[in-house]
Amino acid sequence: MTLCVIDKLLDDPLDTSFDIEPFIHGSMKRKLPELELAIDGLLTPEQAGKIKVIKQHYEDLESRKTDLEAIILSLAESYAEEINLILTVPSFKNLFSAIAVVSQIGVNMGVFPTAKHLCSWAGLTPPNNESAGKKKSVRISIADCYIKPLWVQCATAVVKSEKHPEIRNRYLQLKRRGHKRAIIAIARMLLMAIYHILKNKVLYNPDLTRNPMFVQQTVKSRWNKRFYWHKLRVTELRRLQPNSHPP
């Protein structure tokens, strides 16, 4: 329900029979019958007074939010180049999301030797827990309470879109291992892309989300499978034709 309807009710609390259709816009028009039923009734002066206090509190919070946003934008002016580069990354369409990234990881990627170090610092990489050649299942590391939710939120948004198949296809491949693990992997891909973007001062491109180690392991795994099936096929042919190979 728009604030215009609330203002109309507060102007005359005893009149709840007015037409609210001129005050409704967008998708709310589909809920017009429900809205008309919601305002149909008696609004006492005491209830109207409480609503006025709540409305004033809401307007005060919006005013404070506007003031804080102005301060944040003024502080971010010196990082305009880096922020514009981050805005080219999928799911980063909001200016304040890009500013949040800069405020958390900075713009100098020289403090991190590799992108993997940055992902580990952000809590998006599971630690290495291996003993006697056996790898144990571990959780991702603990990081700042702001940076990890930010990346998870961005990753959750980007996998729902089909505009970036390189990310969505990767998510669908990892989804069989669990939604949460797949989202963390996508968040790590986005962070690695931003690392290279800020370090090299380049725009986003799909190649930045490709992990060289993953590609190398995938090629090696495919080669091993082909070699296995080739060897199995040769063994089967030899078994079916025992006389074709003299002792």
Q: Give me the percent of the chain exceeding a pLDDT of 90.
A: 16
Inform me whether the pLDDT recorded for 59 exceeds 80.
yes
pLDDT at 56: 92
How much is the pTM?
A: 0.67
pLDDT of 230 over the 80 cut: no
Lowest mean pLDDT among 49-53, 149-153, 239-243: 239-243
| pLDDT of 217 strictly over 80 | no
Least confident piece of the model among 4-8, 30-34, 162-166, 234-238: 234-238
Contact 171, 190 (CB under 8 A): no
**Beta-carbon-side half-sphere exposure of residue 172 (alpha carbons within 13 Å):** 9
Taking alpha carbons only, the member of 135, 136, 103, 138 closest to residue 120 is 138
Q: Which amino acid is at 110?
A: G
Over the stretch 78-115, which tens digit does the pLDDT of each residue have? 999 999 999 998 888 889 989 999 988 888 998 888 88
Q: Which residues of 233-247 are buried (b: 16+ CB within 10 A; e: fewer)?
A: eeeeeeeeeeeeeee
Name 31's Cβ contacts closer than 8 Å, sequence gap at least 6: none
The residues with which 131 forms a beta bridge, in sequence order, are 134
**Extents of the domains making up the chain:** 3-76, 80-210, 222-247
- Cβ(170)–Cβ(189) below 8 Å: yes
What one-letter code names the amino acid at 76?
A
- Taking the C-alpha atoms of residue 208 and residue 77, their distance in angstroms, rounded to an integer, is 26
Question: What single letter denotes the amino acid at residue 121?
Answer: W
Residue 63 Cα distances to 13, 44, 73, 89, 98, angstroms: 26, 29, 16, 30, 22
| Region of poorest pLDDT, from 39-53, 69-83, 105-119, 225-239 | 225-239
Q: Are 150 and 124 in contact (CB under 8 A)?
A: no
pLDDT tens figures, 139-175: 565 656 678 888 888 888 888 888 888 888 888 888 8
